[in-house]
Every structure is written in C-alpha cells, then in structure tokens.
C-alpha cells in the first residue's frame, strides 16, 4: 500500500512539471489573429515559417524544433538587426513589422 501511495504522489509531481506541447504553425497563426491562412514554408533555422496579415500589418510566424533552437534564432536575428517586435512561446515566435 505504501508503494502505491508513493507511486501516485510521484506521478502527480511529474505531471505538474511537464512542459506545454509546442504549437503548430496553424495554432500560432490562430494565436496571432491572422486574417488569412498562412502557407507553411521554411526559414533558416526554423521548423516552419509563414507570413500573414492582421489589421493591415505583416506578421511573420516561426516554429522551431525546441526552445533552444528558438532562442538561438532570436539571438542571431536580433544581432543581425531584425526589425519589429517579437512575441515568443514554447518553440514559436511571432515577429510583428
């Protein structure tokens, strides 16, 4: 009985530590409020990349294999002088121009 209680407590603790699942490009587009459905493509260092519009502004959507790839891409983009603002989440970035 004691082992079952410990197993249940351990399972509950581990469940609370899990990271959210990465969003798909379509989910990022929905989160961004895109007026159109972006066509997925690829970009340097990204898993998928696309462009959409919201209120007449161009939004660039990017997904990544993991947060490390996202962080590296953001570092390189900003050091290269990328314009706009950046919103980020688990393995995704929205760049607003």
Encode 3-28: b = buried (16+ Cβ within 10 Å), e = exposed: eeeeeeeeeeeeeeeeeeebbebbeb
What is the average pLDDT across 35-42?
86
Q: What's the pTM?
A: 0.77
pLDDT tens, 55-97? 999 999 999 999 999 999 999 999 999 999 999 999 999 999 8
What is the distance between the alpha carbons of residues 53 and 26, in angstroms, rounded to a whole number?
Answer: 14
How far is it, in rounded angstroms, from Cα 93 to Cα 96?
10
77: Cα within 13 Å, side-chain hemisphere: 20
Provide the 8-state DSSP code for 18.
P
DSSP code at position 41: B
């Amino acid at each position: 009985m004691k082992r079952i209680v410990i197993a249940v407590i351990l399972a509950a603790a581990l469940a609370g530590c899990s990271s959210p699942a990465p969003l798909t490009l379509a989910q990022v587009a929905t989160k961004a409020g895109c007026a159109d459905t972006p066509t997925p493509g690829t970009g340097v260092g990204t898993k998928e990349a696309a462009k959409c519009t919201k209120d007449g502004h161009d939004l660039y959507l990017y997904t990544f294999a993991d947060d490390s790839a996202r962080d590296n891409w953001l570092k390189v983009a900003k050091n290269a002088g990328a314009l706009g603002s950046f919103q980020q989440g688990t393995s995704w970035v929205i760049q607003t121009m």
